[in-house]
């Protein structure tokens, strides 16, 4: 273990340890040559003399070193110093996507899609360089404090080729593709499957497949239908649901063929989330079932290096503890710095790979299961919304009966609905009588005849929920009712005479305040009816011809006339009672005050004034004086109307409108000025960059050689390359890279090499 203050290669000063993985530790360090902070991944001492581990460590460096993209963690340097093998990387201060999901639960759909677009862009850059990541998971995705998403850990990445089968490249079992779990051929579409599982976890807050062992989880990836994300997010937009479904098809050729196609659909889903635009690959319902031959099984075993059939191989871990190979813990991170950087190598998986046993078991068990599945019928891929058949049919071919699933568990209900060729959505509600996880009700009654594939909503109990009864004493009955209703209670009102509590204010509740009650329970609010007195019926006084008549009627019933207001009314003539604030025929305590409003007759509707020829300020003042508002103001050129005067209005003058209506208008900008001839667009641009010797990242063992700048210029439909010789490194001080290109160029990347070694690279996004 390195100590604080130690130097590697006389250049990198160790600041602190920030993470630990199965085969390496990660340190925060300072590069004194370039005066910047970096992250250094160092191979653990116990693996430094093992050629296999050193080779795997170097593969990560080689895989990532050639990648330069804003959504990939940059690798700056790689080397060895007195037996210490290390990789120098960009230091990202932030949090892994896994931790982010754990803290927030399921993410908002737009946020999840935006994150996956950035991840996919990084993976696309890797694919364009013929690199398959093979271990995409939230633990290997970092979100910086600025919100930038970066992919890291190319530790099991491989070049895409026909020899892509590798037992050592299994990745994390919760996210691996079916072909990866079987040790089969792996290409870009395997990464796309893992991207789909990652999106599933972001929007639902959970993994699609869980199990007691690595073997059981891997088997589910191969043979089980992916649980619909709608189970956990019923309002998930159809575009996102379909994107997940297409990414996670069991057969690779039914997924997106390229990450670029996935990115295009993700971007479209941000604009039109509820549009069904994802193009699914049509299933061949009449295709023949093909079984895996013994020769193919032997070939997979041979290419994967598997001949053993051990199922559970315990592995000795740190502190000589016995590790379960199925344990999914990935990283031990320093608690104080876990948000700065997280290295997510799987320590237990790495050691298991070194021993060479557990993956053998996974693949052999999966092969056996796959043969059984193939013999039984056509695959297991597809979603809950695809057409299904049933063994028994008592109705015509297009209809089925809704089974009775009330009282069953959610899983049991879903299975019965599937067996009846029905789709399903799950809605969760608290219920004090039905046990958590059991079905309360369904959207269609049992035995109802419906068309096959109809979606049935099942309401599943979340169990009972204890809620504290809030103190609402002294509040009005309406305030108290809203507070308790919002808390999830059913509210009943009861009036009680009380000499100490004001009329219509709350005396108390049952159950009393600060006690626990169940969500959905009945709560009784006791409301003061004033001092102990007789209750009387409120007469109907709306429509009475005069205020005096209303007052006489109230007093005859033991009530009092309160405030008298006025209001416009189209229903009641001027002078008649148009409204009372205590409803007629309601029971109230004797002596209650009733407020009334007298009709002013129909409100006179204003006429729209003529605005044409007036200034905008004059128009606004005129509209306000007539009880109207200024609407949208537009402007246009006019040869006949002076600039600043109104040309036209949206509502015709002298027409009658409702009070407060808006009237828009168009203001003249005067005559249209003569157009200036357009300046010719430049035909060329310049890629220009000044660099100095201090900008170069030259390994310590290289002291001379020719410096050559490669300039890659990108257009919308092509790429061009230029070369500029910068001279001998020993004599080099500063240089200006200057290349004239076509004006249609979009951006450029400058890479400086010293005898073939990359010592400097930068992106030029804005060309002069």
Residue 15's φ and ψ, nearest 5 degrees, are: -95, -50
> Measured between alpha carbons, how far is residue 515 from residues 131, 466, 523 in Å?
61, 10, 12
> Measured between alpha carbons, how far is residue 489 from residues 435, 460, 480, 719 in Å?
19, 19, 11, 66
Note if the bond before 110 is cis, omega within 30 degrees.
Answer: no
- The tokens describing 611, both together, are 């605005």
Count CB atoms within 10 A of the CB of residue 737.
19
Could you give the CA distance from residue 504 to residue 496 in angstroms, rounded to a whole number?
Answer: 10
Could you give the CA distance from residue 66 to residue 129 in angstroms, rounded to a whole number?
Answer: 8
Could you give the CA distance from residue 180 to residue 186 in angstroms, rounded to a whole number?
Answer: 6
According to DSSP, residue 476 is labeled: B
The SS3 of residue 17 is strand
Is 135 a known active-site residue? yes
Closest listed residue to residue 119, CA positions, set 63, 191, 176, 188: 191
> How many residues does this entry show for the chain?
768
Torsion angle, alpha carbons of 166, 172, 177, 181, to 10: 50
Closest listed residue to residue 202, CA positions, set 84, 109, 341: 109
423-429: strand order across its sheet: 423-429, 455-461, 439-442
Could you give the CA distance from residue 226 to residue 383 in angstroms, rounded to a whole number?
Answer: 7
- Of the residues 135, 191, 431, 498, only one is catalytic, namely 135
According to DSSP, residue 683 is labeled: S
Residue 327's φ and ψ, nearest 5 degrees, are: -65, 135
Active-site residues, by number, are: 135
């Amino acid at each position: 273990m390195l100590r604080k203050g130690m130097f590697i290669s006389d250049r990198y000063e160790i600041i602190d340890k920030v993470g630990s993985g199965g085969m390496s530790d990660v340190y925060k360090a300072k590069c004194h040559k370039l005066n910047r902070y970096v992250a250094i991944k160092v191979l653990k001492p116990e693996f430094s003399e093992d050629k296999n581990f050193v080779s795997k460590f170097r593969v990560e460096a080689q895989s990532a070193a050639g990648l330069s993209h804003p959504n990939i963690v940059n690798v700056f340097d790689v080397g060895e110093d007195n037996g210490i093998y290390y990789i120098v990387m960009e230091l990202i201060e932030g949090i892994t996507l896994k931790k982010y999901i754990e803290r927030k639960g399921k993410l908002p759909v737009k946020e999840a899609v935006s994150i996956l677009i950035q991840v996919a862009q990084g993976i696309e850059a890797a694919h364009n360089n013929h690199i398959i990541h093979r271990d995409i998971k939230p633990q290997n995705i970092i979100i910086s404090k600025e919100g930038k998403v970066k992919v890291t850990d190319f530790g099991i990445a491989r070049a895409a080729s026909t020899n892509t089968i590798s037992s050592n490249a299994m990745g994390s079992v919760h996210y691996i593709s079916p072909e990866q779990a079987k040790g089969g051929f792996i290409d870009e579409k395997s990464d796309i499957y893992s991207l789909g599982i990652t999106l599933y976890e972001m929007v639902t807050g959970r993994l699609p497949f869980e199990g007691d062992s690595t073997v059981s989880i891997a088997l589910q990836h191969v043979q089980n239908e992916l649980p619909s994300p709608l189970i956990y997010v019923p309002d998930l937009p159809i575009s996102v649901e379909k994107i997940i479904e297409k990414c996670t098809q069991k057969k690779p050729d039914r997924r997106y063929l390229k990450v670029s196609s996935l990115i295009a659909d993700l971007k479209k889903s941000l604009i039109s989330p509820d549009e069904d635009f994802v193009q699914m690959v049509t299933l061949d319902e009449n295709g023949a079932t093909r079984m895996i031959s013994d020769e193919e099984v032997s070939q997979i075993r041979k290419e994967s290096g598997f001949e053993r059939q051990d199922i559970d191989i315990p592995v000795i871990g740190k502190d000589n503890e016995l590790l379960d190979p199925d344990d999914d813990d990935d990283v031990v991170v320093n608690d104080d710095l876990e948000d700065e950087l997280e290295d997510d190598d799987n320590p237990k998986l790495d050691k298991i790979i070194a021993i060479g046993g557990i993956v053998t078991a996974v693949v052999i068990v999966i092969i056996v299961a796959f043969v059984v599945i193939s013999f039984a019928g056509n695959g297991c891929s597809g979603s809950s919304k695809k057409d299904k058949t049933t063994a028994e049919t008592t109705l015509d071919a297009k209809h089925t009966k809704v089974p009775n699933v009330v009282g069953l568990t959610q899983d049991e209900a879903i299975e019965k609905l599937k067996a009846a060729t029905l789709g399903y959505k799950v809605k969760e509600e608290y219920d004090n009588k039905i046990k958590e996880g059991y079905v309360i009700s369904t959207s269609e009654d049992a035995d109802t005849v419906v068309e096959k594939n109809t979606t049935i909503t099942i309401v599943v109990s979340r169990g009972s929920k204890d809620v504290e009864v809030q103190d609402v004493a002294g509040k009005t009955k309406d305030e108290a009712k809203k507070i308790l209703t919002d808390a999830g209670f059913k509210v009943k009102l009861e009036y009680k005479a009380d000499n100490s509590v004001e009329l219509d204010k709350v005396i108390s509740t049952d159950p009393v305040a600060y006690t626990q009650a169940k969500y959905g329970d009945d709560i009784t609010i006791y409301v003061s009816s004033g001092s102990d007195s007789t209750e009387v019926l409120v007469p109907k006084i709306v429509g009475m011809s005069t205020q005096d008549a209303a007052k006489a009627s109230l007093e005859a019933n033991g009530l009092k006339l309160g405030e008298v207001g006025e209001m416009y009314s189209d229903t009641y003539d001027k002078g008649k009672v148009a409204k009372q604030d205590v409803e007629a025929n309601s029971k109230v305590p004797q002596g209650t005050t009733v407020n009334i409003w007298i009709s002013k007759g129909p409100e006179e509707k204003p006429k729209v004034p003529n605005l044409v020829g007036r200034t905008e300020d004059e128009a606004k003042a005129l509209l306000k004086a007539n009880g109207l508002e200024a609407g949208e103001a537009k402007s246009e050129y006019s040869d006949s109307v002076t600039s600043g005067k109104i040309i036209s209005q949206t509502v015709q003058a002298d027409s009658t409108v409702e009070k407060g209506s808006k009237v828009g208008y168009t203001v003249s900008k005067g005559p249209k000025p003569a157009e200036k001839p357009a300046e010719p667009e430049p035909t060329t641009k310049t890629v220009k960059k000044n660099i100095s010797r201090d900008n170069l990242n030259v390994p310590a063992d290289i002291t001379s050689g020719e410096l050559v700048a490669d300039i890659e210029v990108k257009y919308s439909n092509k790429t061009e390359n230029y070369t500029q010789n910068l001279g001998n490194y020993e004599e080099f001080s500063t240089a200006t890279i200057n290349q004239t290109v076509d004006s249609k160029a979009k951006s450029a990347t400058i890479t400086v090499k010293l005898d073939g070694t990359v010592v400097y690279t930068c992106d030029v996004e804005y060309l002069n």
